[in-house]
Amino acid sequence: MNQVNLKRLAQELNLSIATVSRALQDSYEVSSQTKERVKALAAELNYEPNAYASSLRRNISKTIGVVVPEVNNHFFSLVINGIEEVAHQSGYHVLIYLTHDDYEREVAITQYLTGGRVDGLLMSVASESQKFAHLQKLYVSKPAIVFFDRVCEAIATANVTTNDYESGYLATRHLIEAGCRHIAYLLVSGNLSIGRIRMQGYQAALRDHGLPYDDTLVVSDDGDDERNTARIMDLLRRRPEVDGIFASVEHLAISSYHACHALGRAIPAEVKIIGFSNLGVAALLAPALTTITQPAYEMGKAAAQILLCAIEKKRAISPGQSLVLKSELFARRSTAS
């Protein structure tokens, strides 16, 4: 199985390796006849350049890394779709890494990526990552980084996010206008900026409508769906006056449904639920779920575009290139009054 490489092509064509290489790159230094000959043989022998040799020599990998907590999640899978779309168009390859919201794992992954394996990185930080030393290290090393949704504020680069404060405010107001007076907040993770910011919107809306903020109505994510459901059930039992739930992340909305079903609380009659979600079947749920939906696909595309643009132009990415896209509120049965 004689590998077909430049040397092989050069031998068969009685040319030097250099000329073959240049011909395949359409260099002006090669005559058009030679180019034709080379390309014909390359096609015939099904020549494909060795990506590693090329990357080593040019110090460019044509590869970007995507680091996300999960892929089995509508938001992230849509983002990946967008990223892959842009990457494919520009001839980039996409390496994917899952942190499972685990700090250790995120550290290990970023360590890999300092080795020049990728030209750039798109990242949504793990919810447990309070420490940023590993990200700093990575940032100081080569690859360009763009954060999306779950950003790392300690690093001066571009972020692609959504209008989380506003969305938190609108979601809460939506519940209030639907008649809710005791609204629970289900928090992603206290050390994630999106959790905090959405919560600030929630608090502001309460204040503006003369409702007290009560931190015993805040339930934070446990990382496990079963346990989350149990926590929510616990809250609903302890505080029977709760008539609204704002889930700051999709799986907490789902857990809320399970909790209400288990306790026999009618949605929306007794408890109204709104949640951040990219669930395609939100409208088919029983009852249809009112969602704040982030433009996940567009976020992926935008983040990838910022990154690839910076890579191609060999320019550093500045925080000024950050983008804030708008989420949309889809009012459905789960918050009907």
Partner DNA sequence: TTTATCTACGTAAACGTTTACATAGCTTCG
Partner DNA sequence: CGAAGCTATGTAAACGTTTACGTAGATAAA
| Residue 11 binding result from DNA, a second copy, none, given CB thresholds of 5 to 8 Å by partner type | none
Beta bridge partners of 213: none
Which residue from 11, 36, 40, 56 is in contact with DNA, where contact means CB under 7 A?
Answer: 56
Which residue number, 114 or 163, has a Cβ lying nearer to a second copy?
A: 114
| Residue 111 binding result from a second copy, DNA, none, given CB thresholds of 5 to 8 Å by partner type | a second copy
Least distance in Å: CB of 251 to a second copy? 9
Contact 182, 239 (CB under 8 A): yes
Contact 92, 121 (CB under 8 A): no
* Binding flag, residue 116, a second copy (CB under 8 A): yes
| Residue 286 binding result from DNA, a second copy, none, given CB thresholds of 5 to 8 Å by partner type | a second copy
Do β-strands 290-293 and 328-330 pair in parallel, antiparallel, or remain unpaired?
antiparallel
Quickly list DSSP for 11-53. HHHT--HHHHHHHHTT-TTS-HHHHHHHHHHHHHTT----HHH
Which residue number, 5 or 200, has a Cβ lying nearer to DNA?
A: 5
Least distance in Å: CB of 82 to a second copy? 10
| Residue 16 binding result from a second copy, DNA, none, given CB thresholds of 5 to 8 Å by partner type | DNA
| Strand (E) or helix (H) holding 304 | helix 296-312
Contact 92, 62 (CB under 8 A): yes
| Residue 227 binding result from a second copy, DNA, none, given CB thresholds of 5 to 8 Å by partner type | none
Site string for a second copy, 182-221 (x = CB under 8 A): ----------------------------------------
Query: Interface with DNA by CB under 7 A: which range of 51-59, 106-114, 121-129, 257-265?
Result: 51-59
Q: At what angle do helices 250-263 and 225-238 cross, to 10 degrees?
A: 50
| Strand (E) or helix (H) holding 273 | strand 272-276
Give me 256's structure tokens: 């809320």
Task: Return the SS3 of 117.
Answer: coil
Query: Interface with DNA by CB under 7 A: which range of 23-31, 159-167, 254-262, 317-325?
Result: 23-31
* Binding flag, residue 7, DNA (CB under 7 A): yes
Residues in Cβ contact with 322 at an 8 Å cutoff, skipping those fewer than 6 apart: 158, 159, 160, 161
Give me 61's structure tokens: 């990998």
Least distance in Å: CB of 94 to DNA? 20
**Whole-angstrom Cα distance, residue 164 to residue 154?**
19
Which residue number, 1 or 284, has a Cβ lying nearer to DNA?
A: 1
Judged by the rule CB under 8 A, the positions of this chain that interact with a second copy are 46, 48-53, 55-56, 61, 63, 70-74, 77-78, 80-81, 84, 88, 93-98, 105, 111-112, 114-117, 137, 141, 254, 257-258, 261, 279-281, 284-288
